[in-house]
A and B are shown apart, each in its own frame.
Chain A
Amino acid sequence: MIDKENIKIFYFKYKFIIFSIAVILSCLILIALVIYPQLLSLLEKRRVHQEITQKTEILVVKANELESINEEELSKKIENITLALPPDQDYTSAINVLQNIISENGFSLVSMQLSQSSVAVPNLKGFSIKIETIGPRLVFSNLLNSIENASRVMKVSGLELTSQRRNDEVSASITVDVYFAPLPTTLGASDSPLSKLTENEEEIVSKLSQNIKTNGFNASSGLSGSLPSRGKLNPFE
């Protein structure tokens, strides 16, 4: 009885403070347990929503861009560029290209030797062909130009030249690095930007197509007399 009475007296004495503390506490509990977590979740949801919207926009733009690309033209370009840089060694096409270049420049082929070579560029592979050839000295420069501008991507990596004093012939041993690159196997994330060709790359592709056209390249049967590239052109199909 005395305790109850005491509590009553205590409450009446301090009711302002007790009431205010109770209200503040309930407000704080409401903020801590409901308002703050809800606000955090709102912000998180807003971020997620923005991300999804952005991804959707990218996908829509990407799909529209892909839709606008001419499929036939693209396959033609792929064919040409795959012949220039095949997915595997394709020794026959490289040998054929070199043989054609040598004969077109008035040189005669003495021997050809294949060997492995390492390439500094990642994902790019190659092999070397050492050519022993004899021909006119005056057009030797053209021969080198033709090799480096051939329909198959190749580069001169070594050169040994001896010229005869009495005539204008040179005997040359040219090491040519021939390149190939395995096809990419992954497409990457769906919202990754569309891989577009740069101006320089567009130029290279059209130059290659032109080169193949002028060299009598038949895309369906390979370089005049050579075997077509093996395997699927597009592994994503």
Chain B
Amino acid sequence: MEKITINLLPREVKEAQRVQSKFYKVQAISIIVILTMIFLASVTFALGVLQSESIRDANFNLSASENKLSEFKSKEGALLILKNRASFVSQLTTAPSKQRTAYSLVSNLLPESVLVGSLEADRTGNLNLALVAENGADLDEFLANLVDPQKSEGYIKKVELDSFSRGRDGTYRANLKITIK
């Protein structure tokens, strides 16, 4: 036979009990939340302390490495000087001067019978040439070589014929201005 339970408490008391139990639950949850927050704050604080410790250790290692490196300061200086000089020398010696290149080019293209009376290469490498040739064909050949980009290796930008004459002795004289690229 089933038991019959009868709550004889007044309705207001029952309501008050229900509200109170609900409030206890809220209180419990609040305490858990606050404790979690405190726990998080403590963890971050502890981690901060640990981190400071490891920074102190790292700084100690850093000063040890710096001390070790300072022993090789003169070697490092020597290496820096070597690098500094080598890079300058490399910049200066990678390519021959324009003047040297221009001279080599003209010498290579010049037929044997054509003589260079005078040659002048300025700071930009441009050439002024005074030529003397026994026959016009060789002079023609030289001029053709100069303006041929394949033979002049694409190095010559412009060839100007300043003057051209034929002397009483039958020799040809020409003054050329060669602009280098």
**Min C-beta distance of A11 to chain B, whole Å:** 11
**Min C-beta distance of A56 to chain B, whole Å:** 5
Whether A75 sits at the interface, judged by CB under 8 Å, is yes
In chain A, residues 136-182, which have Cβ atoms closer than 8 Å to a Cβ of chain B? 140-141, 144-145, 148-149, 153, 155-163, 165, 179, 181
Whether the pair B55, A81 counts as a contact (CB closer than 8 A) is no
Whether B68 sits at the interface, judged by CB under 8 Å, is yes
User: Which residues on B sit within 8 Å (CB–CB) of A202?
Assistant: 86
CA distance A188 to B76 in the complex (A): 10
User: Which residues on B sit within 8 Å (CB–CB) of A113?
Assistant: none
Number of interface residues, chain B, beta carbon within 8 A: 68
Closest residue to A159 on the B side, CB-wise? Answer: B121
Whether the pair A85, B85 counts as a contact (CB closer than 8 A) is yes
Whether the pair B107, A141 counts as a contact (CB closer than 8 A) is yes
User: CB within 8 A of A205: which of B38, B51, B71, B86?
Assistant: B86
User: Which residues on B sit within 8 Å (CB–CB) of A208?
Assistant: 89
User: Which residues on B sit within 8 Å (CB–CB) of A141?
Assistant: 103-104, 107
CA distance A85 to B86 in the complex (A): 9
Decide yes or no: A181 and B97 within 8 Å by CB, A30-B37, A158-B123 being known contacts: no
**Min C-beta distance of A220 to chain B, whole Å:** 17
In chain B, residues 84-130, which have Cβ atoms closer than 8 Å to a Cβ of chain A? 84-94, 96-97, 99-100, 103-104, 107, 115-123
Residues of A within 8 A of B (CB): 15-16, 19-20, 23, 26-27, 30-31, 34-35, 38-39, 41-42, 45-46, 48-49, 52-53, 55-56, 59-60, 62-63, 66-67, 69, 71, 74-75, 77-78, 81-82, 84-85, 121, 123-124, 140-141, 144-145, 148-149, 153, 155-163, 165, 179, 181, 183-184, 187-188, 190, 194-198, 200-202, 204-205, 208, 233-237
**A to B CB contacts below 8 Å, 19 in the list:** A15-B23, A23-B30, A39-B44, A49-B51, A62-B76, A63-B69, A82-B81, A140-B103, A155-B92, A155-B97, A161-B118, A165-B132, A179-B92, A183-B81, A184-B84, A190-B66, A195-B83, A205-B86, A233-B81
